[in-house]
Structure 1
Amino acid sequence: MAHVIFFEKPGCRNNTRQKALLAASGHSVEARNLLTHPWTAGELRAFFGDRPVAEWFNRAAPRVKEGEVVPEEMKAEAALAAMLADPLLIRRPLMQVGDRREVGFEADRVHGWIGLAAEQAVPGEACPRKDGHQCGEQA
């Protein structure tokens, strides 16, 4: 099984469920705080691969929801600069196994990469919080 370095927003319910699913699938999970990690543009860029820039963003981030940041209008360099300044903009989770890095928790993609237990419920990326906070907000 894989050792997964899992960059999360601490307290995010979906990230908690995603880590539990990885562990139930036999993987070891090393959780790291996405918001406080000392990112460089190059390190962060490696997680996005050949995905379009718009797919790099956390759609629940307040600045995205309010229209201040429009992912579809961003170029890669500007997107990385914005994310380094405001890590809430980064789509979660970021995962690394060996040299491979991925963004987001797309169950089919994760299963094809490292495997997921079929009998486990698969959490999505949308935040289910009902306490008035958005997953994009800093707790």
Structure 2
Amino acid sequence: MALVVFYEKPGCSNNTRQKQLLSRSGHDVVALDIRAQGWTPEGLRPFFEGLPVAQWFNRAAPRVKSGAVVPESMPADEALAEMCLDPLLIRRPLMESGGRHMAGFDEAAVADWIGLARTAEPIPETCPRSDGICSLPGR
């Protein structure tokens, strides 16, 4: 199976379920805090290849929800610069394996890429909480 580097926000319940699905599918997961990576525009760009700029953003990020950042009106270079300054803006998870990069967790795309075990119900990609603060109970 694959070695997957998984950039997450620790404590995010969706990221936890996504990592569990990868592990149950036989993959080795190396989880890293997306906020602690010292991102550069060049380092982030491969994760978003082929996606419109608006899909690069975490819709639950406080600055997106408040309207301070409007993904639909941001040029790519500005979006990458803002994400480097505020990693909470980055759509999660970011994953890399075998030289390929992916932003977000589209189960069908991940299954086509590295393979996934079937689940009873899909894991949501966005935070299930209305306040956007995604965490595990007790954290």
Contact 1:47 1:103 in 2 (8 A): yes
Task: State the partner residue of 2:55.
Answer: 55
**Structure 1 or 2: more helix by fraction:** 2
Secondary structure of the equivalent of 1:35?
A: helix
Gap runs ≥5 in structure 2: none
Give 1:126 deviation, angstroms: 1.8
How many Å separate the matches in 1 of 2:28 and 2:37?
A: 20
RMSD of the TM alignment (CA)? 1.8
Question: Which AA in structure 2 matches 1:134?
Answer: I
Distance 1:104 1:133 in 2: 16
Task: Point out where structure 1 has 5 or more consecutive residues left out of the alignment.
Answer: none
Q: Which residue number in structure 1 is paired with residue 134 of structure 2?
A: 135
Which aligned segments of 4 or more residues in structure 1 are displaced greater than 4 angstroms? Answer: none
Deviation at 1:36, TM superposition (A): 0.7
Match of 2:114 in 1: 114
Q: Which amino acid aligns with 1:29?
A: V
TM-score (normalizing by structure 1): 0.92
Please state how far the C-alpha of 1:128 moved relative to its aligned partner.
2.5
Mapped to 2, the partners of 1:127 and 1:89 lie a distance apart of 13
Asked if the contact 1:61–1:135 (Cα under 8 Å) also holds between the matched residues in 2, the reply is no
Percent same amino acid among aligned pairs?
Answer: 57
Mapped partners of 2:12, 2:66: distance in 1? 20
Deviation at 1:135, TM superposition (A): 3.1
1:63-117 CA deviation, whole Å, 9 max, x = no partner? 1011110000010000001101110000000000021000000011101111110
Aligned positions, number: 136
Partner of 1:43: 43
Deviation at 1:120, TM superposition (A): 5.1
Contact 1:5 1:95 in 2 (8 A): yes
Residue 86 (structure 1) aligns with: 86
1:21 and 1:122 in contact (8 A); partners too: no
Q: Distance in 2 between matches of 1:50 and 1:119?
A: 27
- State the alpha-carbon separation in 2 of the partners of residues 59 and 122 from structure 1: 19
SS at match of 2:59: coil
Q: Does 1:12 align with 2:4?
A: no
2:115 aligned partner, one-letter code: G
